[in-house]
Amino acid sequence: MSFLKKQRKFIEYKMDKNNKTVIILGSSRSDGNTRKVVDRVISYNNEIDLIDLGNYDISYFDYEYKNQGDDFQKIAKKLLTYDQIIFATPVYWFSMSAPLKTFFDRFSDLLHLHKEMGRKLRGKTMGMISSSSGNNINDYFRSPFIESAKYLGMNYIGDMHSWLIDDKIPDEVDQIIKKFASKLGKAEKIVTIN
Ligand SMILES: Cc1cc2nc3c(=O)[nH]c(=O)nc-3n(C[C@H](O)[C@H](O)[C@H](O)COP(=O)(O)O)c2cc1C
């Protein structure tokens, strides 16, 4: 690798490290396998914030926007204070979880009803953490994240897949987590949105 390339790599790394990062956990249980993996990511990079969608009331997308009183708006406002948004989801029936999909659908609010907020997503980065019963993820699973990032004008920084064996994170997965965590930038602590 030439010196120039090495130097560029260093600069990119430094820039990444200035980013504020939040993980959005979308599992049907707050203390499940995906949470264990997310906690491990945070243990390797404790400047990452966490928002657990299980603590909030977020309803399905509504064409008439009658659901504006739920928690989506406040989470969206908080999200806009970050540079990197990482979605963490279990694999349920070969797809992202229903809680996370419900949250994703509500991004449509930001494209139609709160356009100024939608525009602010542009240029931010998106990543994804998945958790299933084995080393069995494929590009179909990743595709909604990659395409949604493109549609929203966000940069997709990549993803990592995890699985547990006997309720424990195996060494192989721990290495994957460590590598992924090192890519992520700085933020505050666990976030509570009131
Ligand atoms: C409703 C449901 C559907 C699932 N579908 C799949 C699947 O399609 N592929 C897979 O490998 N594991 C599947 N699993 C297993 C989960 O992905 C796995 O146990 C995951 O780590 C659970 O994370 P959680 O504890 O955060 O829910 C499924 C589990 C549930 C409850």
For ligand 1, whether the C-beta of 54 sits within 6 Å is: no
Residue 177 within any structural domain of the chain: yes
Q: ∠ CA(132), CA(32), CA(157), 5° rounding?
A: 55
Say how many Å lie between the CA of residue 104 and the centre of ligand 1.
19
The distance from CA 180 to its chain's CA centroid, rounded to whole angstroms, is 12
CATH of the domain at 159: 3.40.50.360
> Which of 5-9, 115-119, 184-188 is the least confident region?
5-9
Determine the 3-state secondary structure of 89 from DSSP. Answer: strand
Q: What is the pTM of this model?
A: 0.89
Give the atom of ligand 1 at the shortest distance from the alpha carbon of 136.
11
First vs last C-alpha separation in the chain: 49
Query: DSSP character for 185?
Result: -
Residue 190 within any structural domain of the chain: no
For ligand 1, whether the C-beta of 158 sits within 6 Å is: no
Give the gyration radius of the chain's Cα atoms.
17
Residue 4 within any structural domain of the chain: no
Dihedral of CA atoms 85, 90, 96, 97 in degrees, nearest 10, equals -100
Q: What is the pLDDT of residues 41-90, one digit of tens each?
A: 999 988 899 999 999 999 999 999 999 999 999 999 999 999 999 999 99
